């Protein structure tokens, strides 16, 4: 059986984009492709998206995923 994809809403789309951005930021910092300022701007978008209140279970799951990713990113950002 195929998995049902929830309908796209602006909130879900922002959360999906933020969740996809987390590994990009991590890899960019690791390979020194991003400046700290650029990575911080990207992380601020992710933070803004994750800290909004959500009712949808899919949105809540994505927001948690983004929050956990932000915790991983904050250490390398603080060290630079």
How many H-runs (helices) and E-runs (strands) does the chain carry?
3, 0
pTM: 0.84
How would you classify residue 3: left for phi > 0, otherwise alpha for psi between -120 and 50, otherwise beta? beta
12-53 per-position pLDDT tens digit: 999 999 999 999 999 999 998 989 999 999 999 999 999 988
User: What is the arithmetic mean of pLDDT over 55-72?
Assistant: 94
Question: Within 1-56, where are the H helices?
Answer: 10-30, 36-50
- The predicted pLDDT at position 6 comes to 66
Structure tokens at 78: 């603080």
User: Is residue 20 packed enough to be buried (19+ CB in 10 Å), middle (13-18) or exposed (0-12)?
Assistant: exposed
């Amino acid at each position: 059986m195929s998995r049902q994809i929830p309908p796209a809403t602006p909130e879900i789309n922002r959360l999906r984009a933020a969740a996809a951005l987390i590994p990009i930021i991590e890899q960019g910092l690791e390979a020194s492709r991003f400046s700290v300022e650029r990575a911080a701007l990207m992380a601020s978008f992710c933070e803004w998206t994750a800290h909004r209140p959500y009712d949808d279970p899919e949105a809540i799951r994505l927001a948690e995923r983004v929050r956990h990713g932000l915790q991983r990113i904050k250490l390398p950002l603080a060290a630079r």
